[in-house]
Chain A
């Protein structure tokens, strides 16, 4: 059974209480650093920071409704070789799930990391957040979580959370060593802290926490949130399928794509150091373009746009966690996440796999069984 504790929230200020909690973790002897999103002093943005000095946590704000990048990539770069110290990393659920996928792809190591997950309230697009937040910093975050936790969806008129967040059925982090719970908790008074793994329990035991029971309202609050999200997701799947179910429609869907490949760069699970699409393989001979044009009479330039997207789907869809960073990174507002999640849902289901669910499940394309999939062999004749 998970060990549960309640920490007090002073003056209804969640952020200060969280910062204090992070400070108490960082003060532990065997924790060298903590990775946590902070408001940067030089500009009004929130970025992951690696903190070793407990005095440098005043800007920590894991509840700010923005994540400029999926920090799973950062955790992977911190852990690809022994670091010489333990780091607590404060992540959103989708970042933890992406990190689980990266671990299985041997892009990082879990040994020196303690995963601290927080119930996720959702995020805005990067550009929207910059517009909304203006000169307020933590004040906006307080207003945001106050609204969201009291069930109010529209915090700022005219702006909406990203579709990725609205379709996300994982608002509660799974696989976190330590979970910080907000849903179904009276956050004006307290926060929930839960140890979910043996590693988390070790940390829990070395902190001075008062044991408590999980509030009975929590399970129902989470369940209703998930069912709302699932409904949105299923509607999104139906609409995206309808919008892309022929090559003609897919071409329309992706018509604004300029082959910048930002979606791939932003994708936490696209882990190849050098993507084939930026190699010489796609540096076609000039005569090749003319040959293509001659064959069809007209070709759209740049070429290989549809090819890139379908190939990326084939290469990473079984690892897609649906974080939405692809859409966030698109300079031309293509709903990339909607397309990838729709297809990924099918491909993951086909292999009874779910990205980020467990470190034990093998990535579908890294293994096989001898006695499977016999129905796809042959040309449809007895």
Chain B
């Protein structure tokens, strides 16, 4: 799997993790370019179908990342997101999308370093897992 470069789709909230990613950039912290950031207003708006779509289109992993508990700009969107991720973690492994391919993290606006570390670690993990089998299939 030497050449395998995973693609990670990350749904990041406008107020915390997106800002953290921005901070990582302005601070010139390096992290692997395997992640595609999708900025959402809140993790609470990430419908399960966004995650399912990402996997069916061939994403090797999906990250949903928002504010720490208590810090949500919309008071409790991140708690709702946590229930949805729990739901997906019950469903997706049934169909062969391993539990490790879907991650939920809380990364605050000032945690640029943590953002870079998280991406670095995730890319290493997904490289070890190998590619998502959906990529080679004729389903969309």
- Which B residues are CB-close (under 8 A) to A298? 138
25 A-B pairs whose Cβ atoms sit less than 8 Å apart in the complex = A244-B95, A245-B94, A246-B95, A247-B134, A247-B137, A247-B139, A251-B139, A292-B140, A296-B137, A307-B53, A307-B56, A310-B95, A314-B84, A317-B91, A343-B91, A346-B90, A347-B87, A368-B79, A370-B69, A376-B104, A377-B105, A378-B103, A379-B105, A379-B121, A380-B103
Chain B residues packing against A (C-beta within 8 Å) = 48-49, 52-53, 56, 69-70, 76, 79-80, 82-92, 94-97, 100, 103-106, 118, 121-122, 125, 133-134, 136-140
Q: How far is the CB of A207 from chain B (nearest CB, A)?
A: 45
Residue of A nearest to B140 (CB): A303
CA–CA, A303 and B139, complex, Å: 7
Is A377 touching B95 in the complex (CB atoms < 8 A)?
no
Given contacts A245-B94, A343-B94, A379-B121, contact A373 B53 (CB under 8 A): no
Given contacts A306-B56, A347-B90, A380-B100, contact A247 B125 (CB under 8 A): no
Residue of B nearest to A297 (CB): B138
CA–CA, A310 and B96, complex, Å: 12
Is B83 touching A314 in the complex (CB atoms < 8 A)?
no
Q: How far is the CB of B88 from chain A (nearest CB, A)?
A: 7
Is A314 touching B87 in the complex (CB atoms < 8 A)?
yes
CA–CA, A123 and B59, complex, Å: 43
Cross-interface CB contact of B95 among A245, A305, A364, cutoff 8 Å: A245
CA–CA, A368 and B81, complex, Å: 10
Is B49 touching A276 in the complex (CB atoms < 8 A)?
yes
> Closest 9 A-B residue pairs measured CB to CB?
A314-B48, A246-B96, A368-B79, A311-B49, A303-B140, A350-B90, A300-B138, A298-B138, A347-B90
- Which B residues are CB-close (under 8 A) to A299? 138-140
- Which B residues are CB-close (under 8 A) to A376? 82, 85-86, 89, 104
- Which A residues are CB-close (under 8 A) to B140? 292, 296, 299-300, 303-304, 307
In the complex, besides A298-B138, A300-B139, A380-B100, 18 extra interface pairs with C-beta distance below 8 angstroms are: A245-B95, A246-B133, A247-B97, A247-B133, A292-B140, A303-B140, A306-B56, A307-B52, A314-B48, A317-B91, A347-B91, A351-B83, A351-B86, A368-B79, A369-B79, A376-B89, A378-B103, A379-B125
Which A residues from 229 to 281 make CB contacts under 8 A with B?
Answer: 241, 244-251, 276
CA–CA, A248 and B136, complex, Å: 10
- Which A residues are CB-close (under 8 A) to B105? 377-379
Is B95 touching A379 in the complex (CB atoms < 8 A)?
no
Whether a CB of chain B sits under 8 angstroms from the CB of A10 is: no
- Which A residues are CB-close (under 8 A) to B90? 343, 346-347, 350
Cross-interface CB contact of A368 among B56, B83, B96, cutoff 8 Å: B83
Whether a CB of chain B sits under 8 angstroms from the CB of A381 is: yes
- Which B residues are CB-close (under 8 A) to A369? 79
Q: Which bracket fits the contact residues of A?
A: 35 or more
Residue of A nearest to B81 (CB): A368
A interface SS class: helix
Q: How far is the CB of A352 from chain B (nearest CB, A)?
A: 12
Given contacts A311-B48, A373-B82, A373-B86, contact A251 B106 (CB under 8 A): no
Cross-interface CB contact of B121 among A292, A313, A381, cutoff 8 Å: A381
CA–CA, A227 and B70, complex, Å: 46
Q: How far is the CB of A166 from chain B (nearest CB, A)?
A: 22
Is A368 touching B48 in the complex (CB atoms < 8 A)?
no
CA–CA, A245 and B95, complex, Å: 5
Q: How far is the CB of B74 from chain A (nearest CB, A)?
A: 13
CA–CA, A310 and B92, complex, Å: 8
Residue of A nearest to B136 (CB): A296
CA–CA, A314 and B106, complex, Å: 23
Which A residues from 349 to 382 make CB contacts under 8 A with B?
Answer: 350-351, 364-365, 368-370, 372-373, 376-381
Q: How far is the CB of A1 from chain B (nearest CB, A)?
A: 38
CA–CA, A12 and B83, complex, Å: 53
- Which A residues are CB-close (under 8 A) to B95? 244-247, 250, 310
Whether a CB of chain B sits under 8 angstroms from the CB of A315 is: yes
- Which A residues are CB-close (under 8 A) to B118? 379
- Which B residues are CB-close (under 8 A) to A318? 87
Q: How far is the CB of B77 from chain A (nearest CB, A)?
A: 10
Give the most central of B52, B69, B121, B133: most A CB within 10 Å: B52
- Which B residues are CB-close (under 8 A) to A303? 139-140
Is A247 touching B94 in the complex (CB atoms < 8 A)?
no
